[in-house]
Amino acid sequence: MELAVRRSAIQVILTEHRRLTSIVSGMQRVVDGMATGSGLSSAMLMRAMLYYINEFPEQIHHPKEEQYLFARLRARTDEFDAVIGELARQHEEGKRRIQALERALTRYELAGADMLPALRNGVYGYADFYASHRHLEESVILPGAQRYLTASDWMEIDEAFGANRDPFESLETEDNLNDLYRLIVQTMPEAQA
């Protein structure tokens, strides 16, 4: 997606969306691989992916979208109120879906292959849900923000999202979500052509 003027917050948001998309795609490959018997190591990788989603998009990315981007856009125009309301609802639904995936993964770990279809359905359902959510933000909200927000709005939003690059900078390396993301990506099975 090409936006007229590239703002640093928009760059951060798009990068974070790409990262989450790669995690979700990896979850699909992992759950598909579980059917071939790579159970325990795949379950550990899946748990790391769910942890990443819980800790970064759910705790940092989505709240900042609501607090800064959505709030500023609502203050400038009511044109996007319905879409913003839907996106906020989807943020809550996303949390519930991740919790449901964690429960489905635990059932798989405890009961084995009989629980795999439910886990797979949950992963694929989340992937569809997230793709639709991301599309709505990138095709409606970001262009709307480009059109209506002021330079002052963007200064505040750019500063808020600029902090997302290293959210745990003061913690030890093993707790750094950027390191976790790289580890997950390096561990994921390759996409089949």
Tokens of residue 77, six digits = 């125009």
Distance CA 156, CA 69 (A): 9
pTM, whole model, 2 decimals?
0.84
Pair of tokens at residue 18: 């790409």
Q: 111 or 165: whose pLDDT is higher?
A: 111
pLDDT score recorded for residue 20: 94
Q: What is residue 3's predicted lDDT score, i.e. its pLDDT?
A: 42
Please give the DSSP secondary-structure letter assigned to residue 191: P
Contacts of 132 (CB under 8 A, 6+ apart): none
pLDDT of residue 28: 95
Q: What is the pLDDT of residues 87-106, one digit of tens each?
A: 999 999 999 999 999 999 99
pLDDT at 165 over 50: no
Reply yes or no on whether the pLDDT at 73 is more than 90.
yes
Choose from 143-152, 158-167, 182-191 the range with maximum mean pLDDT. 143-152
DSSP 8-state assignment for residue 59: I
Q: What is the percent of the chain where pLDDT is above 70?
A: 82
The separation between CA 93 and the C-alpha centre of its own chain, rounded to angstroms, equals: 12
Q: How far apart are CA 62 and CA 90, in angstroms?
A: 10
Q: What is the mean pLDDT of residues 122-138?
A: 98
**pLDDT for res 189:** 63
Across 41-45, 51-55, 146-150, which has the greatest mean pLDDT?
146-150
| d(C-alpha 53, C-alpha 48), whole Å | 9
Fold of domain 8-187? Four Helix Bundle (Hemerythrin (Met), subunit A) (1.20.120)
pLDDT over 90 (residue 118):
yes
pLDDT at 19 over 70: yes
6 HSE (CA, 13 A, CB side): 7
pLDDT, average across residues 59-65: 92
The better pLDDT of the pair 179, 74 is held by 74
